[in-house]
Amino acid sequence: MSDWEKTKQYHHGSKHSYHRSAPGPGYMDWENQPDPFRRYDGAEVVDLIKTPLDTKPFYHEALSCNAISPQPLNIETLSQLLFDSLAISAWKSFQGSTWALRVNPSSGNLHPTEGYIICGPVEGLNNSPSVSHYCPKIHGLEIRTPLPIQTWGKMSEGFPENTFFIGLSSIYWREAWKYGLRAFRYCNHDVGHALAAINIASSVLGWRTQMMDQLGRNDLKILMGLTNSDGDEVEVPDCLIAISPEPIIEPLMTNNFIEDFSTLEWSGTSNNLSQHPNLWPGILEISQATQKPSTVSINHSDSKNSLAPTPLQQDSFSMRKAIHQRRSAVAMDGVTQISRETFYQFMITSNPDTCPPAFQTISWAPQIHLGLFVHRIDGLPPGLYFLVRNKKHLKDLKNKFKKEFIWSRPEGCPQGLDLFILQEGDFQGLATSVSCGQEIAGKGCFSLGMIGAFENAAVNEDAWIYPRLYWECGVIGQMLYLQSEVSNIRGTGIGCFFDDPVREIFGVKDLSYQSLYHFTAGGSVDDTRLSSLPAYPEG
């Protein structure tokens, strides 16, 4: 069976429907709950700085390109980047148990994503180049290995001065413990959320990001020191991002330095996460089928690095405040309305043409569209709407979707947004029911399904696009979360939905488009039983 056939089989097998949930444990094995924090015992630890929140830049400034002059790379700015992207943002407590919440959200708060820094000498951190692991629990770096200066020289050759790299990886077991087969999807959504969190934290510092998407999984394993990771707690590398004070012109990275990494001595032993890990069958298979080989270059999106100003409304909301106060709504009030103009801000920030900084690490042309259930927006009739995020798909979408859809432009819609009304009506009940009956999808101002090109997205049936579709969804989700905070409402990512019933709402009869992630935004009702504690109480 080809890798693409295996991918289709996994996708189908991990669907939820009204009659059957995707295969999973169906209960929580609390004895074996995986530790959400990876540690490398024995590795040298460097504490990072918990950067106080300042008011500037404002949200619209951080999302408009070139508005912020690039900060120098040093221990302060590297600390801030990680503090604003992968750190803990609060602890919650209820009836004697406490748990950490982070800047980047995660399905079930299980946090499969790990981060690694590969950098040259950084003032205040180290005198030599190094590879280190980021520990959110202490906001510190564990130094895994120093890098010979020649190796770093080869790796960073051709990049602007002070470029460094962040690698992301996933520990599937953390999600599979609760969600079984569907966990592979959630791990990749989480990678997408982390990618956007890094893009935005970089923008705050005036830095640019770019995905090093020529590298294959085996290269990434070597670079992140993960070649010996195996078994049920296997940690699999996903991607490497270059971060730079200046635009990175083209994918410059050669792979002539990778061999040098394979002879390095790595310090620290990775901790066991559970006593009896038991990875759900099928997860490793889909991971293997969708692993990317190294390639010369990949099909870059036209808008890459051509950072045009964002047509966002001016605001005085601190971007870093939005980043750190972001939370998922657990319930929606069913009454809060937002204005039409506010709704259009959501559309602007979830689109790479109108908000390039957020999407810098998405190196392929957009494959994901938004199928919107509009419930409570002043000045717009409730109904089914659609945001086309790639004009080239419009004709095909019109062909595949129900013939009775009207495809009319909503009033006041800003130019540059391909937003359409498909059908007016009350979709609160349907939105709830297809989101596994979760009321947050019907009681918000709007909710949505991310409708991804599926069969056609896999050019030459390259199965490695499959995780990337979820990464793109995760980036959109992260922007919807941030915009919700700035608009004084709250969002929630929704991974639990009934796949085929969503597809049928739009009339798609084949594998051309599939729903890949849901999201809701609205007036939230807080759970007052929980108390909140500061992210790092010791200061």
Nearer residue to ligand FMN within complex by CB, 109 or 255? 109
Residue 385 sits at φ, ψ, to 5 deg, of: -120, 170
Per-residue x/- mask for ligand FMN, residues 455 to 494, rule CB under 6 A?
Answer: -------------------------------------xxx
Distance of CA 445 to the CA centre of its chain: 23
Among residue numbers 308 through 347, which ones bind ligand FMN (CB under 6 A)? Answer: 327-328
The answer to whether 86 touches 102, Cβ cutoff 8 Å, is: yes
* Number of residues near ligand FMN (by CB under 6 A): 19
Going by C-beta distance under 8 Å and a sequence separation of 6 or more, which residues neighbour residue 377? 337, 338, 339, 340, 343, 445, 446
The 3-state secondary structure of 289-329 reads: HCCCCCCCCCCCCCCCCCCCCCCCCCCCCEHHHHHHHCCEC
Nearest Cα residue to 14 out of 528, 495, 521: 495
Q: What is the CA radius of gyration of the chain?
A: 22
Residue 362 beta carbon to ligand FMN: minimum distance, rounded to whole angstroms = 17
- Position 372 contacts ligand FMN (CB under 6 A): no
Among 14, 64, 85, 106, binds ligand FMN (CB under 6 A): 106
Among 186, 266, 427, 464, binds ligand FMN (CB under 6 A): 186
Residue 81 beta carbon to ligand FMN: minimum distance, rounded to whole angstroms = 19
Among residue numbers 213 through 242, which ones bind ligand FMN (CB under 6 A)? Answer: none
- Position 495 contacts ligand FMN (CB under 6 A): yes
With contacts defined by CB under 6 A, name the span among 62-70, 185-193, 214-222, 501-509 that binds ligand FMN: 185-193
Among 496, 516, 521, 535, binds ligand FMN (CB under 6 A): 496
Among 438, 484, 512, 515, binds ligand FMN (CB under 6 A): 438
Nearer residue to ligand FMN within complex by CB, 122 or 236? 236
User: E-assigned strands of 427-470?
Assistant: 446-453
Alpha-carbon distance 127 to 282, whole Å? 44
With contacts defined by CB under 6 A, name the span among 104-112, 274-282, 378-386, 410-418 that binds ligand FMN: 104-112
* CA trace torsion 59, 64, 68, 71 (10° rounding): 90
Identify the bridge partners of residue 130 per DSSP, sorted by sequence position. Answer: 119, 146
Alpha-carbon distance 145 to 118, whole Å? 10
With contacts defined by CB under 6 A, name the span among 25-33, 103-111, 255-263, 303-311 that binds ligand FMN: 103-111
Look up residue 68 and give its two tokens: 């912020």
The answer to whether 100 touches 36, Cβ cutoff 8 Å, is: yes
Nearer residue to ligand FMN within complex by CB, 190 or 235? 190
Among 11, 178, 193, 490, binds ligand FMN (CB under 6 A): 193
- Position 197 contacts ligand FMN (CB under 6 A): no
Residue 533 beta carbon to ligand FMN: minimum distance, rounded to whole angstroms = 14
Residue 89 beta carbon to ligand FMN: minimum distance, rounded to whole angstroms = 7
Nearest Cα residue to 445 out of 340, 370, 528, 515: 340
Q: Please say whether the dihedral angle defined by the alpha carbons of residues 50, 54, 56 and 60, taken in this order, is positive or negative.
A: positive
Per-residue x/- mask for ligand FMN, residues 57 to 96, rule CB under 6 A?
Answer: ----------------------------------------
Residue 22 beta carbon to ligand FMN: minimum distance, rounded to whole angstroms = 13
Nearest Cα residue to 229 out of 171, 146, 184, 183: 171
Residue 105 beta carbon to ligand FMN: minimum distance, rounded to whole angstroms = 3
Nearer residue to ligand FMN within complex by CB, 109 or 423? 109
With contacts defined by CB under 6 A, name the span among 98-106, 194-202, 217-225, 289-297 that binds ligand FMN: 98-106
SS3 421: strand
| Percentage helix, strand, coil for the chain under 3-state DSSP, each rounded to 5 | 30, 25, 45
What sections of 26-170 are H helices per DSSP? 59-62, 75-83, 149-156
Angle, CA of 401, 402 and 403, to the nearest 5°: 110
Identify the bridge partners of residue 161 per DSSP, sorted by sequence position. Answer: none
CA distances from 306 to 37, 317, 338, 356 (A): 37, 25, 31, 8
Residue 444 beta carbon to ligand FMN: minimum distance, rounded to whole angstroms = 12
Residue whose token pair is 């945001």: 387
Residue 175 beta carbon to ligand FMN: minimum distance, rounded to whole angstroms = 9
Angle between helices 183-204 and 75-83 (to 10 degrees): 140
Residue 107 beta carbon to ligand FMN: minimum distance, rounded to whole angstroms = 4
Residue 104 beta carbon to ligand FMN: minimum distance, rounded to whole angstroms = 8
Residue 58 beta carbon to ligand FMN: minimum distance, rounded to whole angstroms = 23
Among residue numbers 108 through 167, which ones bind ligand FMN (CB under 6 A)? Answer: 108-109
Residue 44 beta carbon to ligand FMN: minimum distance, rounded to whole angstroms = 30
Nearer residue to ligand FMN within complex by CB, 246 or 500? 500
With contacts defined by CB under 6 A, name the span among 12-20, 101-109, 152-160, 229-237 that binds ligand FMN: 101-109
Look up residue 26 and give its two tokens: 């169906």
Alpha-carbon distance 68 to 57, whole Å? 8
Residue 192 beta carbon to ligand FMN: minimum distance, rounded to whole angstroms = 8
Residue 111 beta carbon to ligand FMN: minimum distance, rounded to whole angstroms = 8
Nearer residue to ligand FMN within complex by CB, 105 or 136? 105
Among 34, 36, 105, 357, binds ligand FMN (CB under 6 A): 105
Residues lying near ligand FMN in the complex (CB under 6 A) are found at 101-102, 105-109, 186, 189-190, 193, 327-328, 438, 492-496
